[in-house]
Amino acid sequence: MPQYSFTLNGKPVTVDAPADMPLLWALRDLLGVTGPKYGCGIGACRACTSHLDGTEIQPCVVPVADCAGRRVTTIEGLADGDRLHPVQQAWLDCDVAQCGFCQPGQIMAAVALLDRTPHPTDADIDKIENVCRCGTYHRVRQAIKKASGAPPS
């Protein structure tokens, strides 16, 4: 079986996997990284949202072979030791999570948005397509604004 090496949350890793194995399964089953969640398997629900070289991806549809030599970041890689990423802290401050299943993907999508658009408008935030079964979208909006330094609406 081929081996693929990449940087995961700042640390080098190597996995033995078929080239077409979705990155999500390599993360969860081979590397024990459980933050990205399996929801739909087709990139629509976005519960697995992570970053590849700083760009938002859905690892359920990205083959592990596409990650060789690159940087993969999951929710586990956002905090700096005990210091939460500002988006993670805003999530807590705004009491966003209910069931919590979609939250890692939501947070990773929000981080990607703020990297692209440091002061997003409501229209920018509305373009996040992550599905939340609990419907906490209004608190997601508040948390993203808090993390950006904008006043909540």
| 19-52 confidence digits (pLDDT tens) | 999 999 999 999 999 999 999 999 999 999 999 9
Q: Model-level pTM?
A: 0.94
Which pLDDT value is given to residue 134? 87
Q: Torsion angle, CA of 116/118/123/124, rounded to 10 degrees?
A: 20
> Which residues are CB-neighbours of 26 under 8 A, at least 6 positions away?
4, 15, 17, 64
Does pLDDT of 93 surpass 70? yes
Q: Is the dihedral of CA 63, 79, 92, 111 positive or negative?
A: negative
Helix (H, G, I), strand (E, B) or coil at 153: coil
Which pLDDT value is given to residue 152? 59
Domains of the chain as residue ranges with CATH = 3-77 (3.10.20.30), 86-148 (1.10.150.120)
Confidence of residue 146 (pLDDT cuts 50, 70, 90): very high
State percent of the chain over pLDDT 90: 88
Strands 11-16 and 3-8, sheet pairing: antiparallel
